Structures are given as structure tokens and as C-alpha cells.
């Protein structure tokens, strides 16, 4: 258990740097004054270096994008996966990452708006079926229009009178509901939010790695099984939180009657999901990008993924999950110490000398 952080805050948030040396850096700290970077695996398994925020640019030669990212992170009142993602989306949309990333960021922003609207309409349909008397079977395409919204309000009138509220208030609460859960979407939605998409991609990667391992030697299979076990455990815990969030859909009337409490609980569940999934998107992307590579190169990617698995903290583990993840972490640390670090080639001796002034932690 010594290798497991106690909380997500202790583990830190994955920072999407583009330079290989700091590609899997994490950032933690409750306020700008005590922020520090965690740099894992930079010295062949000696541990994770803890570097004060302002010291990073003096330690590592950052490219322009990464230096701009550091500048944009400085002074943020809070550091969560949502905060980091918003900073990166804003930077990419403004062109700091080049044309492909600009286009991808703008598509992501537009897609998030469309997904939010879709899920809001789907939530209205489900609420009408549960709350309205003889509700019309409104099509989602109709609900998007002003006329469709007006029809929905008409359908909510009877329920609103009984519940001492108004159709407008019901619609506003459902809009807030959809906005809070937009990153996962409502249950069984055809258009899930990006966190739910990452969850799906995580499972797809696991199946792909399992197939890939059938032709690999035992030591590579060992790594792959560790990745898949960690991915499966992460998926289970993330799904547990999603189910808690979706459980409010079982009794929408009760959820709306206690809207403040409901929204607070949903917000906490979604925030927890973002922490659980944090760090996996980069690893999934790296694996997918290696799909056309030679086996030797894919093995290096697999080793990189294994070495940088986003370890979950004790605060979300229950039952035998403690033992499972602790076992994965111990073998992971042992593997790193027994093999040449994939990134040591990127470090010069001068940088290694500078690193020794900072403390290390086992996480």
C-alpha cells in the first residue's frame, strides 16, 4: 500500500505536455503558492521527483507550447482535470498547437455543445414520460426548436401545478442537470460526453491489447496483463460513479423536488469520474497511434503505458480493489527498476544532476 496515494489531490492532475521528458508530469497543490510538479520515471525507477512549479522551466528545456501551458497554469485558483482540460482547449483553439490541434479543439468545443443539447432534450423526453399526464411523444429534433420547447412546457403544466412550481423552472432545472452531467451524458445516450467516450475507449484498448499479446513473449504479456488489470479496475470504479449519477433518472420528480441536493451530488460524482479517468486519454492515444508501427516499437509504447499507469488513490478503492491495485503497483515499480527506463535516452547528465536536488516520492 505504500505506493498508493491517499487522495486524488495527492496524486495530482495529468498535465498534457508535448515534450517526451515531461509527457507524464502531474501537477498538485491546493493554491498557486504551494503548486508542484510530479515527474515520474525520469531516473530509471528512482521514484517520482517533486519539483516546485516555478522551477520546472529551469530544470527542463520546454518547447514553446509547453512553456505557454505553464504560463497559463500559473495563478489558476484551482487545479482539477476540468481546469486543465479547459486551459488546453483554449490554447489549442487559439492556434498554439498548430492547425491540426486547432481544428480538433474547435470540433471538440462544438461537439460538446451539441452533445449537451442532445442530452438536455433526451432528459426532457424522459421527464415527460414520468411526470406528464398523457404526454406527447415528442421527437428530439422537434424539442430542439423553440416550438418544441413550448410544447414541452405545456406538457409540464399539470405536474408543475401539483408540485408548486412552474414549467419554466422545471425546464431550467433539466437544463442545469444536462449541463452538469454533459461530460458523461444521460444513461444509455447515443451521444455520450467525453469522459464516457474515454471510458469506452479504455475498454476498447484493453481488448486490443489482449489480442496483441497472443503473439508476444511472456515478459511482454506480463506488462500487457498489468495494463489491462489496471484499466479494468479503473473502468469498474468509473462506472460505479456513473451509475450513481444516473440513478437520479429513476425518480426524476424526486430529484427535481430536491434540486439543490441532487445537483450537488451529481456534480461531485462527475468530478470524481474526471479524476478517475484522468491520465488515460494520453495513454490510449499513444497506443492507438502505434497501431501501424512494428512490434518492437509497440512494445516500447506498451512499456511506457505500463510505467505510467494512472494509479488510483485509496479514497476510491473498496473491498479487494486495495489488494489488486497494490499488487499491480508493486510489480510495476519492480519492473521499472529491473529494466532500462524508456526515457533515459532523453535525459542528459546535466539534467540528471539538477534533478538530484529535489526529493522523490513513491507514487
Question: Distances in Å between the alpha carbon of 29 and those of 13, 32, 79, 145?
Answer: 10, 7, 7, 45
Checking if the pLDDT of 289 tops 60, the result is yes
pLDDT tens digits, 291-301: 999 988 999 89
Summarised one tens digit per residue, pLDDT across range 274-284 is: 999 999 999 99
Residues of the chain with pLDDT > 90: what percent? 58
Binned at pLDDT 50, 70 and 90, residue 352 comes out as low
**So what's the pLDDT on residue 264?**
97
Q: Which three cell numbers stand for residue 81?
A: 482535470
Q: What is the pLDDT of residue 67?
A: 95
Q: Per-residue pLDDT for 309 more than 80? A: yes
Cell triple for 360: 522523490
pLDDT in the model for residue 44: 43
Percent of the chain with pLDDT over 70: 88
Please say if the pLDDT value at position 43 is more than 50: no
Name the residue with cell 406538457: 155
Higher pLDDT, 42 or 188: 188
CA–CA separation, 71 vs 240, rounded Å?
36
- DSSP symbols for 168-228: HHHHHHHHHHHHHTTTT-STT-SS--HHHHHHHHHHHHHHHHHHHGGGS-HHHHHHHHHHH
At 214, the pLDDT band (50, 70, 90 cuts) reads very high
Q: Which pLDDT does position 354 carry in this prediction?
A: 59
Strands (E), 30-155: 36-40, 48-52
228-255: string of b/e by CB count within 10 Å (b at 16+)? bbbbebbbebbeebbeebbebbeebeeb
Give tens-digit pLDDT for 95-150: 998 999 999 999 999 988 888 888 999 999 999 989 987 767 777 778 888 888 89
Q: Which of 190, 180, 194 is nearest to 111 (CA)?
A: 194
- Confidence band of 337 (pLDDT split at 50, 70, 90): very low
Residues 36-46 have a mean pLDDT of: 67
What is the spatial distance between Cα 9 and Cα 81, in angstroms, rounded to a whole number?
Answer: 11
For the chain, what are the domain ranges? 8-361
Would you tell me the crossing angle of helices 99-131 and 146-162 to the nearest 10 degrees?
40
Residues 6+ apart with CB under 8 A from 354: 58, 59
Give the pLDDT confidence of 219-270 residue by residue, as tens digits.
889 889 999 999 999 999 999 999 999 999 999 999 999 999 999 999 999 9
**CA dihedral sign, ordered 340, 341, 347, 352:** negative
Per-residue pLDDT for 18 more than 50? yes
Q: Would you place residue 338 in the very low, low, confident or very high pLDDT band (cuts 50, 70, 90)?
A: very low
> For residue 343, what pLDDT band results from cuts at 50, 70 and 90?
very low
What number is the average pLDDT over the span 285-294? 93
Q: What is the mean pLDDT of residues 77-83?
A: 94
Written as nine digits, the cell of 172 is 431550467
Amino acid at each position: 500500500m505504500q505506493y498508493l496515494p491517499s487522495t486524488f489531490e495527492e496524486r495530482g492532475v495529468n498535465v498534457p505536455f508535448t515534450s517526451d521528458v515531461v509527457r507524464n508530469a502531474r501537477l498538485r497543490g491546493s493554491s498557486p503558492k504551494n503548486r508542484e510538479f510530479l515527474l515520474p520515471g525520469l531516473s530509471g525507477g528512482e521514484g517520482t521527483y517533486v519539483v516546485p512549479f516555478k522551477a520546472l522551466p529551469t530544470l527542463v528545456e520546454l518547447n514553446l507550447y509547453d512553456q505557454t501551458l505553464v504560463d497559463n497554469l500559473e495563478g489558476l485558483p484551482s487545479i482539477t482535470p476540468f481546469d486543465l482540460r479547459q486551459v488546453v482547449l483554449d490554447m489549442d483553439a487559439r492556434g498554439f498547437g498548430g492547425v491540426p490541434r486547432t481544428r480538433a479543439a474547435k470540433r471538440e468545443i462544438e461537439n460538446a455543445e451539441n452533445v449537451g443539447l442532445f442530452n438536455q432534450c433526451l432528459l426532457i423526453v424522459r421527464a415527460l414520460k414520468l411526470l406528464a399526464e398523457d404526454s406527447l411523444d415528442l421527437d428530439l429534433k422537434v424539442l430542439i426548436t423553440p416550438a418544441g420547447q413550448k410544447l414541452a412546457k405545456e406538457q409540464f403544466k399539470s405536474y408543475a401545478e401539483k408540485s408548486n412550481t412552474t414549467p419554466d423552472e422545471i425546464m431550467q432545472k433539466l437544463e442545469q442537470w444536462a449541463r452538469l452531467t454533459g461530460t458523461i451524458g444521460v444513461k444509455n445516450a447515443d451521444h455520450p460526453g467525453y469522459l464516457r467516450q474515454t471510458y469506452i475507449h479504455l475498454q476498447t484498448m484493453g481488448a486490443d491489447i489482449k489480442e496483441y499479446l497472443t503473439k508476444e513473449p511472456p515478459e511482454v504479456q506480463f506488462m500487457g496483463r498489468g495494463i489491462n488489470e489496471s484499466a479494468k479496475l479503473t473502468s469498474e470504479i468509473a462506472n460505479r460513479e456513473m451509475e450513481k449519477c444516473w440513478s437520479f433518472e429513476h425518480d426524476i420528480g424526486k430529484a427535481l423536488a430536491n434540486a439543490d441536493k441532487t445537483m450537488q451530488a451529481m456534480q461531485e460524482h462527475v468530478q470524481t469520474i474526471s479524476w478517475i479517468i484522468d491520465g488515460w486519454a494520453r495513454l490510449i492515444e499513444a497506443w492507438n497511434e502505434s497501431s501501424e508501427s512494428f512490434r518492437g516499437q509497440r512494445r516500447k509504447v506498451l512499456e511506457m503505458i505500463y510505467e505510467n499507469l494512472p494509479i488510483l488513490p485509496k479514497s476510491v478503492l473498496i473491498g479487494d480493489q486495495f489488494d489488486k491495485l497494490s499488487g499491480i503497483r508493486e510489480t510495476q515499480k519492480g519492473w521499472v527498476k529491473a529494466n532500462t527506463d524508456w526515457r533515459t535516452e532523453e535525459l542528459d547528465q546535466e539534467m540528471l544532476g539538477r534533478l538530484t536536488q529535489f526529493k522523490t516520492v513513491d507514487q
